[in-house]
Amino acid sequence: MAETLTIGKALNLGLRRAMEDDAKVVLMGEDIGKLGGVFRITDGLQKDFGEDRVVDTPLAEAGILGTAVGLAMRGYRPVCEIQFDGFVFPAYNQIVTQVAKIHARSQGTLTMPIVIRIPFGGGIGAVEHHSESPEAYFAHTPGLKVVAVSNPVDAYWGIQQAIAHPDPIVFLEPKRRYWEKAEVDTDATPEPLFRSRVVRGGDDVTVLAYGPMVKTALQAAEAAADEGRSLEVIDLRTVSPLDLEPVYESVRRTGRCVVVHEAAVTLGVGAEIAARVTETCFHSLEAPVLRVGGYDTPYPPSKLEEEYLPDLDRVLDAVDRSMGY
């Protein structure tokens, strides 16, 4: 059945389906019960699945992740909602020292099928700690996988695939795009979770993005087309593990590559991609891999966030610089 869904509603339906499919799925988080979460992603789920499966936890993020570890050891599949990106750090110890390592520590005896849902990124005019892009912290941690969805189709299928997956997954949701709509075929066969995807073909420059920046990259490609430039846009979809084969294939054709993310560029995901693309496609490159991202500052007060966040013009500026080599 095909229906038009927002990213938020697609996540809600995906969670509902995952809970129907597996009685061991337990949602945990702050205000996710009666309220349905501050973004209403869990709207109606507690009413239908009960308080034992949709758990309004005490206000303690380490507590949420730490108890999720114990539930996972007992055979449950916890799905933890972190209310905002900037509030994941109290749970950082549990995620990095425990969730990520327990499978290896136990020599494969224990698995940690935990999904950590985090609305991430800026652009909503929020106060401090509500607009962060923490993906590199998690992608740098062996034992974790990091997914960043950009659209309702991936949101619907991705959340179900992440919940069914045996490894812990940080599942990043592009909060400023929660209300973007697309048609979702709920009977379709989904694409695999850890695969990047070419979302717009092109010949001149390969532009890489994930999460909220995919839309920005597509807008840039549209504008570039008006100027006679053809951008190939790839939605990475997964930050860890990176699926770069389609990227290498593309860069070997275009010879140019621009990576776009909201997170600060220094030591970010773009730096890793630049290194790998350079190693693998060295003889095909016509220009160095360029990065467009946040500046190396704390995320600024909201009146300045449009300056901080990559937009269409900054992507096109990088494309110009790449073409200038």
Partner 1 sequence: MTALRQATEVVDPVPGASSPHLPQQPDLIQLLTPEGERIEHPDYALDISDEQLRGLYRDLALVRRWDVEATALQRQGELGIWASLLGQEAAQIGAGRALAADDMAFPTYREHGVAWARGVDPLHVMSLFRGVDNGGWNPVERGFNLYTIVIGSQCLHATGYAMGVQRDGAESAVLAFLGDGATSQGEVNEAMIFAASFSAPVVFFCQNNQYAISVPIERQARVPLFQRAAGFGFPGVRVDGNDVLAVLAVTRAALAAAREGQGPTFIEAFTYRMGAHTTSDDPTRYRLASELEEWNLRDPIGRLKAYLSRSGIADHVFFDGVDAEGDELAARIRSGTLEMADPPPASMFDHVYAEQTPPLAAQRAEFVEYHASFEGGEH
Binding site for partner 1 (CB under 8 A): 26, 52, 57-58, 60, 62-63, 65-76, 78, 90, 93-94, 97-98, 102-111, 142-143, 145, 165-167, 194, 240-243
- In the complex, the smallest distance separating the C-beta of residue 296 from partner 1, rounded to whole angstroms, is 26
Q: Chain-centre distance of CA 119, in angstroms? A: 9
Among candidates 60, 154, 76, which has minimal Cα distance to 115?
Answer: 76
- In the complex, the smallest distance separating the C-beta of residue 38 from partner 1, rounded to whole angstroms, is 20
CB 146 within 8 A of CB 170: yes
Nearer to partner 1, 96 or 182 (CB): 96
Nearer to partner 1, 78 or 294 (CB): 78
Indicate which residue of 103, 129, 130, 140 is catalytic: 130
- In the complex, the smallest distance separating the C-beta of residue 199 from partner 1, rounded to whole angstroms, is 21
Neighbour-count burial for 29-62, b at 16+ CB within 10 Å, e otherwise = bbebbeebbbbebbbebbeebeeebbbbbeeebe
- In the complex, the smallest distance separating the C-beta of residue 101 from partner 1, rounded to whole angstroms, is 8
CA dist 97 and 269 (Å) reads 21
Q: Which class for 271: exposed (0-12), middle (13-18), buried (19 or more C-beta within 10 A)?
A: middle
- In the complex, the smallest distance separating the C-beta of residue 195 from partner 1, rounded to whole angstroms, is 10
Q: What is the DSSP letter of 38?
A: T
CA dist 225 and 211 (Å) reads 22
Contacts of 111 (CB under 8 A, 6+ apart): 72, 103, 166, 167
Nearer to partner 1, 17 or 195 (CB): 195
CB 134 within 8 A of CB 88: yes
Q: What is the DSSP letter of 304?
A: G
Nearer to partner 1, 12 or 94 (CB): 94
Q: What is the DSSP letter of 82?
A: P
Known catalytic residue at 283: no
Element (H, E) at 162: helix 152-164
Nearer to partner 1, 70 or 201 (CB): 70
What is the crossing angle of helices 312-324 and 213-226, to 10°?
Answer: 60
- In the complex, the smallest distance separating the C-beta of residue 72 from partner 1, rounded to whole angstroms, is 8
Annotated active-site positions, please? 130
